[in-house]
């Protein structure tokens, strides 16, 4: 993991946030290279889950919503973690994580009373200072804020930063079916930041305060929900192949009833083999009619749809595939991180799919003279129209290859003195390092074939 964190900083994927002020726990900033890759993942996700299908719409709802949304959704009551505080240093810890780490047991389904007893019986003390720990209590994970310039005592001004993007879809259900021609089954997708007051050490970007979530709510008739759940499970498996994650690094885990979210009828989580073990990468849940029913009750607005055949109205069931963008980003870095040896020296390269690699092609002039750089720059300007390209004329050619290898650039094109005579260049492959010579006029055709 340390190697991934170090590469991320060195090459501009991810930096510790607020670093010049000593940082802020569990927050990270995406650098220029990381931002390119993150956007590529998002674009591919939209392509795969929305554009390649005929039954999907995409929305972009607000982060701040009427507080009633969180009452109706159950987040005010249920979006909580069991915590214990240190009486000496005042640090707060996830009680379940402490017990799991120290006693190596599963604590899902245990009451706060049971967890407190386990802490006491096993004489577990504060991991920071060795102080006494309090009894375990549940704390809500939602961040609060206030609306308006003046702090006042009116509680109606208290707002929450959304902890998931899903609710923005449910509360727009009526707007969406009235403003679009949709028929059940159909889905609505959304990508956006969510905010969670996580206190546990994050393992780099695995657990952060503002994860970006890519999720969709797929509306189906009750009775068909289990069938569509299976369809989505297969579609998710195809997604991981499409985006280029090795199958052996993935595990599909059926979640027991007592471990599922309060709204879920069935959940299958996808686990990835991170350097710190197999951990949740994404989830698939059958939310039933829980959300639309609750919003109907709390808002007084009937959130149902008309069955064209029977003319009855009903509240659809919802199947929800949900992906953490930051976790997928980290999984892709870990999955693609590779090493080999070149002339007795270690080479690090990211074997990323061309779909997500920050750049697909790098163009180098071997020397900055004799018009070699003019030709290289012209090639760069032309290829840029069709591929994600970068121009690099700094340092030795070996250094330039290493730089591109470390950010996963798929192909490097080098223009040299031979190019002046025969209009050819070399194309070097990132993974095999094989170099082949080609006519400049054929480059587009060749690259198109590589990135099909
Ligand atoms: N709407 C359903 C939902 O939000 P979730 O399992 O709480 O479900 C979905 O979150 C995904 O978001 C997770 O599978 C995980 O990939 C990611 N995620 C959740 N909390 C996260 C955090 N604190 N940091 C990074 N990613 C997180």
DSSP string, 173-214: HHHHHHHS---SSEEEEEEEE------S--TTTTS-SS-EEE
Average pLDDT over residues 169-189: 95
Q: Are 355 and 413 in contact (CB under 8 A)?
A: no
Which pLDDT does position 105 carry in this prediction? 86
Average pLDDT over residues 43-52: 98
Pairing between β-strand 28-30 and β-strand 56-59 as defined by DSSP bridges: unpaired
User: For 296, phi and psi rounded to 5 degrees?
Assistant: -60, -45
Q: Whose CA is nearest to atom 18 of ligand 1?
A: 324
CA 323 to centroid of ligand 1, rounded, Å:
7
CA 126 to centroid of ligand 1, rounded, Å:
27
Q: Name the one residue in this structure whose structure tokens are 């670093």.
A: 19
Whole-prediction pTM value?
0.92
Q: Is the pLDDT of residue 154 over 70?
A: no
Q: Whose CA is nearest to atom 7 of ligand 1?
A: 164
- For ligand 1, whether the C-beta of 94 sits within 6 Å is no
Average pLDDT over residues 19-46: 96
Which pLDDT does position 153 carry in this prediction? 57
Q: Is the pLDDT of residue 357 over 70?
A: yes
Which pLDDT does position 111 carry in this prediction? 87
Q: Are 414 and 386 in contact (CB under 8 A)?
A: no
Q: Is the pLDDT of residue 257 over 90?
A: no
Does 359-450 match 2-66+156-334 at the fold level? no
CA 213 to centroid of ligand 1, rounded, Å:
7
Pairing between β-strand 186-193 and β-strand 158-160 as defined by DSSP bridges: unpaired
Cis peptide bond prior to 185, omega within 30° of 0: yes
Q: Whose CA is nearest to atom 25 of ligand 1?
A: 207
Q: Where are the domains of the chain?
A: 2-66+156-334, 80-140, 359-450
Which pLDDT does position 110 carry in this prediction? 86
Architecture of domain 80-140: 2-Layer Sandwich (3.30)
Query: Please, what is the angle between helix 95-103 and helix 112-121, to 10°?
Result: 40
Band the pLDDT of 29: cuts 50, 70, 90.
very high
Quick count: other Cβ atoms within 10 Å of Cβ 139? 15
- For ligand 1, whether the C-beta of 196 sits within 6 Å is yes
CA 79 to centroid of ligand 1, rounded, Å:
12
**Closest-lying ligand 1 atom to the alpha carbon of residue 196:** 23
- For ligand 1, whether the C-beta of 322 sits within 6 Å is yes
- For ligand 1, whether the C-beta of 282 sits within 6 Å is yes
Residues 311-348: pLDDT tens digits? Answer: 899 999 999 999 999 999 999 999 999 999 988 999 99
- For ligand 1, whether the C-beta of 321 sits within 6 Å is no
Average pLDDT over residues 393-409: 95
Band the pLDDT of 151: cuts 50, 70, 90.
low
Q: Is the pLDDT of residue 406 over 70?
A: yes
2-66+156-334: CATH number: 3.30.930.10
Distances (CA, A) of 134 to 98, 101, 198, 270: 13, 18, 19, 34
Q: Is the pLDDT of residue 262 over 90?
A: no
What tokens were used for 408? 């996963």
CA 208 to centroid of ligand 1, rounded, Å:
10
Cβ contacts of residue 249 below 8 Å, gap of 6+?
Answer: 272, 273, 331, 334, 335
Q: Which helix (H) or strand (E) holds 145?
A: strand 144-146
Q: Is the pLDDT of residue 243 over 80?
A: yes
Which pLDDT does position 427 carry in this prediction? 97
- For ligand 1, whether the C-beta of 213 sits within 6 Å is yes
Q: Whose CA is nearest to atom 22 of ligand 1?
A: 207
Which pLDDT does position 309 carry in this prediction? 86
Cβ contacts of residue 274 below 8 Å, gap of 6+?
Answer: 1, 203, 206, 330, 331, 334
Cα separation of 232 and 204, whole Å?
A: 29
**Closest-lying ligand 1 atom to the alpha carbon of residue 283:** 14
Distances (CA, A) of 349 to 77, 210, 334, 338, 432: 46, 29, 11, 5, 11
End-to-end C-alpha distance for the chain, whole angstroms? 32
Q: Whose CA is nearest to atom 4 of ligand 1?
A: 164
Q: Are 39 and 31 in contact (CB under 8 A)?
A: no
- For ligand 1, whether the C-beta of 327 sits within 6 Å is yes
CA 167 to centroid of ligand 1, rounded, Å:
14
Q: Are 189 and 49 in contact (CB under 8 A)?
A: yes
Cα separation of 152 and 130, whole Å?
A: 40
The C-alpha angle 105, 111, 116, rounded to 5 degrees, equals 70
Per the prediction, the chain carries an average pLDDT of 93
Residues 359-397: pLDDT tens digits? Answer: 999 999 998 877 989 999 999 999 999 999 999 998 899
Which of 61, 140, 213 maximizes ligand 1 atoms within 8 Å of its Cβ, making it the mutation to test the pocket?
A: 213
Which pLDDT does position 148 carry in this prediction? 75
Which pLDDT does position 202 carry in this prediction? 72
Q: Which of 134, 59, 36 is nearest to 91 (CA)?
A: 134
Q: Is the pLDDT of residue 155 over 60?
A: no
Q: Whose CA is nearest to atom 17 of ligand 1?
A: 324
359-450: CATH number: 3.40.50.800
**Closest-lying ligand 1 atom to the alpha carbon of residue 198:** 23
Residues 423-449: pLDDT tens digits? Answer: 999 999 999 999 999 999 999 999 999
């Amino acid at each position: 993991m340390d190697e991934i964190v170090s590469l991320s900083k060195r090459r501009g994927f991810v930096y510790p946030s607020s670093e010049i002020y000593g940082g802020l726990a569990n927050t990270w900033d995406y650098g220029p290279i990381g931002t390119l890759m993150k956007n590529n993942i998002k674009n591919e996700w939209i392509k795969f889950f929305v554009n390649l299908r005929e039954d999907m719409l995409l929305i972009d709802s607000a982060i701040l919503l009427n507080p009633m949304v969180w009452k109706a959704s159950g987040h005010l009551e249920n979006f909580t973690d069991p915590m214990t505080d240190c009486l000496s240093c005042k640090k707060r810890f996830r009680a379940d994580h402490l017990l799991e780490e120290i006693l190596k047991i599963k604590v899902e389904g245990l009451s706060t009373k049971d967890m407190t007893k386990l802490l006491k019986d096993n004489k577990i003390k504060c991991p920071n200072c060795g102080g006494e720990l309090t009894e375990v209590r549940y704390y809500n994970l939602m961040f609060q804020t206030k609306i308006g310039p003046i702090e006042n005592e009116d509680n109606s001004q208290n707002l929450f930063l959304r902890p998931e993007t899903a609710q923005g879809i449910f509360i727009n259900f009526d707007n969406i079916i009235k403003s679009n021609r949709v028929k059940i089954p159909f889905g609505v997708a959304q990508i956006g930041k969510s905010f969670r007051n996580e206190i546990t050490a994050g393992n780099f970007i695995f657990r952060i305060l503002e994860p970006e979530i890519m999720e969709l709510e797929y509306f189906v008739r009750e009775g068909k929900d289990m069938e569509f759940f299976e369809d989505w499970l297969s579609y998710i498996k195809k997604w991981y192949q499409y985006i280029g994650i090795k199958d052996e690094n993935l595990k599909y885990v059926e979640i027991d009833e007592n471990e599922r979210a309060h709204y879920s009828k069935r959940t299958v989580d996808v686990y990835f083999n991170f350097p710190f073990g197999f951990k949740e990468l994404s989830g698939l849940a059958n939310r039933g009619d829980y959300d639309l029913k609750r919003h109907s009750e709390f808002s007084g607005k009937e959130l149902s749809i008309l069955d064209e055949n029977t003319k009855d109205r009903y509240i659809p069931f919802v199947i929800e595939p949900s992906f953490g963008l930051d976790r997928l980003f980290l999984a892709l870095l870990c999955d693609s991180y590779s090493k080999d040896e070149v002339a007795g020296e270690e080479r690090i390269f990211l074997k990323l799919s061309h779909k997500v690699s920050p750049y697909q092609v790098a163009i180098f002039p071997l020397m900055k003279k004799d018009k070699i750089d003019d030709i290289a720059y012209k090639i760069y300007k032309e290829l840029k129209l069709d591929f994600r390209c970068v121009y690099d004329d700094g340092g030795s050619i070996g250094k330039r290859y290493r730089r591109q290898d470390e950010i996963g650039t798929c192909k490097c094109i080098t223009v040299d003195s031979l190019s002046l005579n025969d209009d050819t260049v070399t194309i070097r492959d990132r993974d095999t390092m094989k170099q082949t010579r080609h006519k400049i006029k054929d480059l587009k055709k060749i690259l198109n074939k590589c990135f099909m």
